[in-house]
Structure 1
Amino acid sequence: MILIVDDRPENLISLQKVLQANNFEVDTASSGEDALKKVLKNNYVLIILDVQMPDMDGFEVAEAISGFSKAKDTAIIFLSAVNTELRFITKGYLNGGLDYITKPVDINVLLLKIKTFYRIYEQSRKLNEVQEKLLEEIEFRKLAENKKDEFISIASHELKTPLTSVKGYIQLLQRSLSRDDKTMAENHLAKASTQLEKLNDLIVDLLDISKIESGKLKFNMQSFCADNMVNNAIEMLQQANPDFKINKLGKTNEMVFGDEIRLEQVVINFITNAIKYAPGTNQVNVTINIKDGQLYLSVKDFGIGIPKEQQQKIFDKFYRVEENSNRFNGLGIGLYICAEIIARHGGKIGVNSVIDEGSEFYFIIPTDEQTISEQEEASKTI
């Protein structure tokens, strides 16, 4: 928008009409004081400023504008009928003027100057936008590169840990066999098997990440009993963690449409995390119910909790809660995969947590095929 400043109404009106006829958005001010008030309230691309005005002349107005942080770079064209000497023209440029035009004004010349300025302004604005985007991209790539390096370091450590343990147990197993100590051999074999399971879980997660990134994570959608799925997950984890009591709250006999194996993967992840991040406790509550065509499942622990400011990031790829990153192993991808699975079911995933009181992870998904398809399509367009 252009601001015209002139104390003579006839000059304001005539110039305003010409500029508006050429599709410029125009505002006017009849005094220097009025102009300063408008500059403080509005953003102007260009100010056409008359030099000879009572109370505050154009030079004083320009000097005042240069002191406003929001308007100090606004371009100014001075107009003058009296002060046409070189010293006044020089003063105009020294006060931040883009140009100094003497009256009577050749309107065609003025229009050409304004159009040229607007073209330069638009090019400059676009260049600034490109520069900002490039800087953002560079910064993003530096964050991404740091994340990748951190992930590779963590993944390397996490993969080496169970692998090193397996090697150690195999060596112990060989010694036990050489001593014909069957009981000890079976013990070492069981521990090696546990470490191999951990290694397998890590590899599966890494493969799932790769499939998500390439859009090839497959889902086998069909009707199944959600209650049975949860019971199977609880039974398996209860056997692996006999000292932990996994309480199931709620029950449903209704069928759910979805990928049973993938949803069981989410439940297992929730329960495993609940046990892992709740040292010193001995129980976890798993709640399931179906209401209004939606399956609700939550897993609540009574452990360390998650700071509120980090709860929104917990489902981001490679994110690990800072306070826990050195205390607990993990790649920071399990919950990201869970979030992707729930999104593909047209559902919602979340967490409620209080420090030192525990966390409750939950998901809600529609139970019928049509709603899942509709919500999944809607999420793609957001």
Structure 2
Amino acid sequence: MILIVDDSPENIISLKKVLEKNDFEVDTASSGEEALKKILKKSYVLIILDVQMPGMDGFEVAEAISGYSKAKETAVIFLSAASANVNLITKGYSSGGLDYISKPVDMNILLLKVKTFYRIYEQSRKLHEMQVALQEEIEFRKEAERKKDEFISIASHELKTPMTSIKGYIQLLERSLEKNDIETTRSRLTKVQNQVEKLNLLVADLLDISKIESGKLKFNRRYFSFDEVLDHIVEVMQQSHPQLKMHKSGFVSAEIFGDEMRIEQVIINFITNAIKYAPGSDQIEIMTELRDDCVYFSVRDFGIGMSEEHQQKIFDKFYRIEETSERFQGLGIGLYICQEIIDRHGGKIGVNSQPGEGSEFYFTLPLHPVHAQSEIL
């Protein structure tokens, strides 16, 4: 937008008419004081500023707006009825003007200058946008690199921990065998097996994340009983954690269409996390029900919970809550993989939580996804 500042209504009308005829958007002010008020509220590409005005003259207006951040990139053309002399022109440039035109104004020259300033403005704006986009891209590469390095460090630590434990238990096993201590040997073999299983789960997550990144995560969809899968998981998890009370409520009864093993993977992740992040609690609640032709499944714990900020990021790849990362092991990819699985089934995944009051992780799955029929056929 162009702002014309002149105390002569005739000059304003003639300039406005010519500029609007050439498709420029125009605003006007009849005094320096009025111009300053408008400049504070609006942004202008160009100000055509009369030098000789009662009250604030054009030079004073230009000097005043030179400090406004909003007018920092605004070009100023001075107009004056006085004959152009070196002192006047110098004063005009020193007060912030970029050009100077004497009255009576040659409209062709004015239009040429206005178009030139607009072209320069557009080029500068596009260059600035390119600089901003490039800077954002650089920051995104830096952040991606930082996350990659952090993930490699975490993965190395998480993989090293069970490996170290396995090595230690094997050394102890050798001593037990030398003493022919069968009970101790059996106990230590169980501990080795647990560490191997932990290592296997970590490797499986790493393989899944690799498949997701390369678009090769495959799904074997068919109709299966959600209730049967859930009952089996709860039974196995209860045996592994006899001290924990798992309160299960609701049922689906209908079969759902999806990859049974992948859905099982999500359920196990939810229950495992509920146990992991509620170390002082002895119960979790598992709920299943039908909602609007969808299966709604949730696992609620009574553990540490999380803030709203963390809830918005918890399903991001490699995200780990800073204040819990030292207390709880993990790669920060389990929930990201769960989200990918549920998304690929046409469902939704989420969490409700309050710090200190536990968390409820949930997902929904459509009973009859739109792609089910085509895959069966």
Q: TM-score range by the shorter chain?
A: over 0.9
User: Which range moves more in the overlay, 330-339 or 233-242?
Assistant: 233-242
Give, in whole Å, the separation in 1 of the partners of 2:358 and 2:70. Answer: 48
CA contact (8 A) 2:169 2:191 kept: yes
User: Which range moves more in the overlay, 279-288 or 163-172?
Assistant: 163-172
Equivalences for residues 87-106 of structure 1 within 5 A: 87-106=87-106
| Partner of residue 47, structure 1 | 47
Equivalences for residues 61-72 of structure 1 within 5 A: 61-72=61-72
- The alpha-carbon deviation at position 250 of structure 1 amounts to 1.0
| Partner of residue 330, structure 1 | 330
Listed as ranges, the gaps of 5+ residues in structure 2 are: none
- The alpha-carbon deviation at position 371 of structure 1 amounts to 7.9
- The alpha-carbon deviation at position 100 of structure 1 amounts to 0.9
Q: C-alpha deviations, 1:209-267, integer Å up to 9, x for none?
A: 11111111111222211111211221221122222122211112011122221111111
Counterpart residue identity of residue 351, structure 1: V
Give, in whole Å, the separation in 2 of the partners of 1:8 and 1:95. Answer: 22
| Partner of residue 112, structure 1 | 112
Give, in whole Å, the separation in 1 of the partners of 2:348 and 2:138. Answer: 32
Give, in whole Å, the separation in 1 of the partners of 2:261 and 2:274. Answer: 20
Give, in whole Å, the separation in 1 of the partners of 2:232 and 2:130. Answer: 54
Counterpart residue identity of residue 299, structure 1: V
1:287 aligns with 2:287: yes
What TM-score, normalized to structure 2? Answer: 0.95
1:23 aligns with 2:23: yes
| Partner of residue 162, structure 1 | 162
Give, in whole Å, the separation in 2 of the partners of 1:210 and 1:277. Answer: 26
| Partner of residue 81, structure 1 | 81
- The alpha-carbon deviation at position 318 of structure 1 amounts to 0.8
- The alpha-carbon deviation at position 309 of structure 1 amounts to 2.4
Give, in whole Å, the separation in 2 of the partners of 1:202 and 1:335. Answer: 13
Counterpart residue identity of residue 335, structure 2: L
Over aligned residue pairs, what C-alpha RMSD do you find?
A: 1.6
| Partner of residue 8, structure 1 | 8
1:201 aligns with 2:201: yes
| Partner of residue 319, structure 2 | 319
- The alpha-carbon deviation at position 372 of structure 1 amounts to 8.2
Counterpart residue identity of residue 330, structure 1: G
| Partner of residue 256, structure 1 | 256
Q: C-alpha deviations, 1:15-51, integer Å up to 9, x for none?
A: 1222122222211222222212221221110101111
CA contact (8 A) 2:252 2:295 kept: no
Equivalences for residues 105-184 of structure 1 within 5 A: 105-184=105-184
Counterpart residue identity of residue 6, structure 2: D
Give the 3-state SS of the residue equivalent to 1:290 in structure 2: strand
CA contact (8 A) 2:3 2:48 kept: yes
- The alpha-carbon deviation at position 346 of structure 1 amounts to 2.0
- The alpha-carbon deviation at position 288 of structure 1 amounts to 0.5
Give, in whole Å, the separation in 2 of the partners of 1:79 and 1:372. Answer: 73
User: Which range moves more in the overlay, 262-271 or 72-81?
Assistant: 72-81
| Partner of residue 296, structure 1 | 296
- The alpha-carbon deviation at position 347 of structure 1 amounts to 1.9
Q: C-alpha deviations, 1:46-101, integer Å up to 9, x for none?
A: 10111122222111221222232312331100011115221111111111001011
Give, in whole Å, the separation in 1 of the partners of 2:338 and 2:279. Answer: 23
Give, in whole Å, the separation in 2 of the partners of 1:372 and 1:72. Answer: 59
Counterpart residue identity of residue 149, structure 1: D
Listed as ranges, the gaps of 5+ residues in structure 1 are: 374-382
CA contact (8 A) 1:66 1:73 kept: no
Give, in whole Å, the separation in 2 of the partners of 1:244 and 1:364. Answer: 25
Give, in whole Å, the separation in 2 of the partners of 1:307 and 1:148. Answer: 25
Q: C-alpha deviations, 1:318-360, integer Å up to 9, x for none?
A: 1111121101111111111111111112222111112222111
CA contact (8 A) 2:45 2:73 kept: no
CA contact (8 A) 2:314 2:320 kept: yes
Equivalences for residues 214-229 of structure 1 within 5 A: 214-229=214-229
| Partner of residue 232, structure 2 | 232
- The alpha-carbon deviation at position 13 of structure 1 amounts to 1.7
Give the 3-state SS of the residue equivalent to 2:98 in structure 1: strand
CA contact (8 A) 1:366 1:372 kept: no
Give, in whole Å, the separation in 2 of the partners of 1:97 and 1:362. Answer: 63
CA contact (8 A) 1:304 1:356 kept: yes
User: Which range moves more in the overlay, 325-334 or 121-130?
Assistant: 121-130
Counterpart residue identity of residue 60, structure 1: E
Give, in whole Å, the separation in 1 of the partners of 2:369 and 2:181. Answer: 56
Give, in whole Å, the separation in 1 of the partners of 2:372 and 2:91. Answer: 70
1:243 aligns with 2:246: no
Give, in whole Å, the separation in 2 of the partners of 1:164 and 1:246. Answer: 32
| Partner of residue 380, structure 1 | none
Give, in whole Å, the separation in 1 of the partners of 2:308 and 2:83. Answer: 65
Give, in whole Å, the separation in 2 of the partners of 1:110 and 1:372. Answer: 68
Give the 3-state SS of the residue equivalent to 1:369 in structure 2: coil
- The alpha-carbon deviation at position 140 of structure 1 amounts to 1.8
Give, in whole Å, the separation in 2 of the partners of 1:356 and 1:10. Answer: 72
